[in-house]
Amino acid sequence: MKFTVRPSRFPSPLKASLLTSKSNYPRLYSLFHNHQARPLYDRPLSSRHELEDQVPWLASQPLHQLSLADLVKHGRPPLSAEALLSSARFTLSLLPIRLAHRIQALRSLPYIVVSNPNISRIYNNYQHSLSTLLPWQGKTISTLDDEIKFTQVLAELVQTHTDTIPILAKGFIECRKYISSAEVTRFLDEHLRARIGTRLVAEQHIALHYSSTPHFDPEASPTPCPEPETHPSYIGVIDTALRPANVIDSCGGFVADICELNYGVRPEWVVDGAPDASFAFVPMHLEYIVTELLKNAFRATVENGMSREPVVITIAPEPASSPASAATPGVYSDCPSKPSNGGKAKAHEIIPLHDHAPGVTIRIRDRGGGINPDVLPEIWGYSFTTFNEGEDEPPGAGAWGEEAMGLISTTGVGGSTIAGLGYGLPLSRAYAEYFGGGIAVQSLYGWGTDVYLRLKGVGKIEY
Ligand code: ADP
Ligand code: MG
């Protein structure tokens, strides 16, 4: 079958979904950040009943342990129509269960917490998203038309959840009286890690969908939409030859701009070690982590009056022969600090990545005065921040501006403020651990901080 999908047939929500890629569509992305899902009580009674019936059943189904092999197996270039359809079916087999698990987790929070307008907005978003997938349950996605419609639904789903984190953060701060911080941490750790996986599954299919539109039929559509930039090293949202040095430089420029706005000072940074190293990883995740770690390093440097001292970022590729690299690469885990199960790869075919490291460690060294030992045990807690300390504003006030809510960051977190949400470290750690990496902070109080970011690449890509 000749595989022709015309980009111009994609309605705007689908294009909006691609705006989740900040690097490709920074401006357009921001146009869509205000979307809010329709609350469930606005919907017909029948769909509410269907949802009520389905949630407990779906939530009782086990979560599929997603591996990187799962993500790449449908994306082998050149992508056939059958592979695209099977990617859509695979995505559909995972998402309703994942959403139902989140709905159940939200329902098990104390009632007064779920009634908070911010938390209930998130709850409604999940219910809304599940209700858009339910009509697909039991159907087989067997034509490209189905696939286009399904991808539209995914695009809306990704868009609906863009702003989740600042909204949840605000909600939990407002509910501080009714729920202990340990309970909040437990909930958020699980919820936000699960969210990483859900977005990844949806975005992977959307990206594969777009990478499968090489033919344009001018007769059917005389005015083509501009096609998304194509990257030969990408398989969906995974870059098989990602250079951390490039990500560091682009995120460094962005964070330096924020510093200039906040403090009138533009800190500098130097990349050393092996700047040419590359590995296979999800660029959106690396962008998120590096942006948050650089915000912390730059902020500390400026506030410590050391702006003349550059932040030094050392890239150390993992040697191909190291014992760590011999292990099968990362397997998704919904739960914090759960050991990876070693990824049972179905090794039919392997793309050798000889030139790319199996993983990298990135050390970010600043002269920002380090972290007070009194607060050191707290820095991994959600909402813990020393930003705006001693001022009248509530904790986190720096991050609540409209502009900051979901704008800029592909993950809908953090936005353009330098600090204040207190989610930078714990969420960066969740992203790093997602594929088997980690983050360690070493503070030399009175001098500066070293942050070690260890990331495991895809290694060999196995189909
Ligand atoms: P936020 O940046 O919003 O405060 P984070 O989770 O990123 O939240 O960091 C939590 C706290 O950890 C910061 O408020 C700061 O006190 C401390 N911290 C993190 N990184 C550094 C650093 N490089 N130097 C000094 N303090 C740091
Ligand atoms: Mg921070």
Q: Which band of pLDDT confidence, cut at 50, 70 and 90, is reported for residue 139?
A: confident
Q: Mean pLDDT across the stretch 183-210?
A: 94
By percentage, how much of the chain surpasses pLDDT 70?
A: 71
Tell me the C-alpha distance between 273 and 61, whole Å. 46
Residue 168 scores a pLDDT above 60: yes
* 66 touches 198 (CB < 8 A): no
Could you tell me the pLDDT band of residue 75, with boundaries at 50, 70 and 90?
A: confident
Crossing angle (nearest 10°) for helices 244-263 and 283-303: 40
279: part of which helix (H) or strand (E)? strand 279-281
CA of 425 to the centre of ligand 1 (A): 7
DSSP string of 281-292, one letter each residue: E-HHHHHHHHHH
The pLDDT of residue 144: 93
- Residue 19: count of CB within 10 angstroms of its CB: 22
For residues 156 and 7, which has the higher predicted lDDT (pLDDT)?
156
- What pLDDT was estimated at residue 240? 87
Confidence of residue 213 (pLDDT cuts 50, 70, 90): low
pLDDT at 263: 95
More confident: 171 or 217: 171
- State the pLDDT confidence band at 399, using cuts at 50, 70 and 90: very low
Q: Rounded to the nearest 10 degrees, what angle do helices 81-107 and 117-133 cross at?
A: 140
Residue 199 predicted with pLDDT over 80: yes
Q: What is the mean pLDDT of residues 232-257?
A: 94
Q: What is the pTM of this model?
A: 0.81
Question: Which 3 state secondary structure label does DSSP give 110?
Answer: coil
C-alpha 424 to ligand 1 mean position (Å):
7
Assign residue 365 a region: left if phi > 0, alpha if psi is -120 to 50, beta otherwise? beta
The pLDDT of residue 356: 79
Span 330-355, mean pLDDT? 40
Task: State how far the Cα of 340 lies from the Cα of 328, in Å rounded to an integer.
Answer: 10
Report which DSSP code applies to 409: -
Q: How far apart are the C-alpha atoms of 16 and 33, rounded to whole Å? A: 9
Q: Which ligand 1 atom lies nearest to the CA of residue 420?
A: 3
Greater pLDDT, 174 or 47: 174
- Identify which of 170, 416, 425, 449 to mutate to test ligand 1's pocket (most ligand atoms within 8 A of the CB): 425
The token duo for 30 is 């921001």
- Rounded to 10°, the helix 45-59/117-133 angle is 90
Residue 228 pLDDT greater than 70, yes or no: no
Position 231 scores a pLDDT of 75
For the cut 90, the answer to whether the pLDDT of residue 172 exceeds it is yes
How high is the pLDDT of residue 107? 96
CA of 114 to the centre of ligand 1 (A): 29
pLDDT of residue 14: 36
Q: Which ligand is closest to the CA of 297, given by its number?
A: 1
Q: Please check the confidence at residue 18 and state whether its pLDDT lies above 60.
A: no
For the residues 356-383, what does the mean pLDDT come to? 95
Q: How far is the CA of 21 from the centre of ligand 2 (A)?
A: 22
Residue 358: its pLDDT value, please? 87
| pLDDT for res 79 | 82
CA distances from 83 to 51, 77, 78, 381 (A): 30, 10, 10, 42
- pLDDT, tens only, 416-444: 789 989 999 999 999 999 888 999 999 99
Orientation angle between helical segments 144-160 and 117-133, nearest 10 degrees? 180
| pLDDT tier, 45 (very low <50, low <70, confident <90, very high otherwise) | low
How far apart are the C-alpha atoms of 211 and 205, rounded to whole Å? 10
H or E, element range at 100: helix 81-107
311: amino acid identity, one letter: V
Over residues 162-183, the mean pLDDT reads 94
Residue range 146-164: mean pLDDT, rounded? 95
Task: Look at residue 423 in the predicted model and tell me its pLDDT.
Answer: 95
Is residue 333 scored above 70 in pLDDT? no
Residue that wins the pLDDT comparison between 96 and 344: 96
Is 90 exceeded by the pLDDT of residue 334? Answer: no
Mean pLDDT of the chain: 79
How much is the pLDDT for 220? 45
Contact 197, 158 (CB under 8 A): no
Residue nearest to atom 2 of ligand 1 (CA): 419
**CA 108/CA 268 separation, integer angstroms:** 46
Residues with CB under 6 A from ligand 1: 292, 296-297, 300, 366, 368, 371, 379, 384-387, 419-425, 449
Model confidence at 340: pLDDT above 70: no
- Residue predicted with more confidence, 161 or 71: 161
Mean pLDDT of 280-290: 95
Instruction: Pick the more confident residue, 403 or 107.
Output: 107
| Mean per-residue pLDDT, 68-95 | 87
Give the ligand at the shortest distance from the Cα of 267.
Answer: 1
Q: Is 221 helix (H, G, I), strand (E, B) or coil?
A: coil
Res. 185 pLDDT band, cuts 50 70 90: very high
Separation of CA 428 and ligand 2 centre (Å): 9
Q: pLDDT band at 29, cuts 50/70/90? A: very low
The number of the ligand nearest the C-alpha atom of 300 reads: 1
Percent of the chain at pLDDT exceeding 90: 58
What is the pLDDT, as a whole number, of residue 46? 63
